[in-house]
C-alpha cells in the first residue's frame, strides 16, 4: 500500500488522521514497528537454531541490537535516496515535516523488536522444542 500511495498518502491512515485530528498520516510508523517485530523473530530463529548465543539475556540483547542496526541502515538508505532524488525526497521519506521522524522510526523498530521477543518468545520456544523432539 505504501508503495502505491506513498507513505504520506495511504487512504485509511488519512481517515485516521482526520478522525482523530492527528498532525500527520502515520502509516510509515506501523511499517517501522513491523521493521523491528519481524526481523526480531527471524533473527531469534537463526540464533537459536545455529546455537550462536546460548544464554537468553545475551541472545535477546543481540537480537534487539541487530534490529536497531537494521533500522538504522534503512534510515541511511532513505537519506541516500533523498540526497540522490532531490525534490522528490519528501514524498519518499514520508517525514511530513516532522523533525524527529528518523528517531521515532528507529524507536518504533526498537519497540517492535522488544514486543516481538516478549510476546512470541515462549511460543517460539515451544515450537522449537517440538521441532527438536520430532528430529
Predicted confidence (pLDDT) per residue in 65-86, tens digit? 999 999 999 989 888 887 887 7
The residue with cell 512470541 is: 120
Report the pLDDT value the prediction gives residue 43, as an integer from 0 to 100.
97
DSSP 83-120: HHHGGGHHHHH--TT-TTHHHHHHHHHHHHHHHHHHHH
pLDDT, position 95: 59
Banded pLDDT at 5 (limits 50, 70, 90): low
pTM assigned to the model: 0.81
Amino acid at each position: 500500500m505504501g508503495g502505491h500511495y506513498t507513505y504520506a498518502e495511504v487512504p485509511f491512515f488519512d481517515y485516521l488522521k482526520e478522525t482523530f485530528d492527528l498532525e500527520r498520516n502515520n502509516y510509515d510508523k506501523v511499517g517501522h514497528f513491523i521493521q523491528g517485530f519481524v526481523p526480531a523473530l527471524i533473527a531469534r530463529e537463526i540464533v537459536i537454531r545455529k546455537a550462536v548465543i546460548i544464554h537468553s539475556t545475551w541472545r535477546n540483547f543481540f537480537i534487539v541490537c541487530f534490529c536497531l542496526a537494521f533500522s538504522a541502515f534503512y534510515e541511511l538508505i532513505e537519506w541516500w535516496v533523498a540526497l540522490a532524488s532531490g525534490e522528490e525526497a519528501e514524498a519518499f521519506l514520508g517525514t511530513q515535516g516532522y523533525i524527529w521522524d528518523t528517531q521515532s522510526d528507529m524507536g518504533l523498530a526498537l519497540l517492535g523488536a522488544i514486543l516481538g521477543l516478549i510476546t512470541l518468545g515462549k511460543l517460539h520456544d515451544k515450537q522449537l522444542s517440538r521441532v527438536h523432539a520430532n528430529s
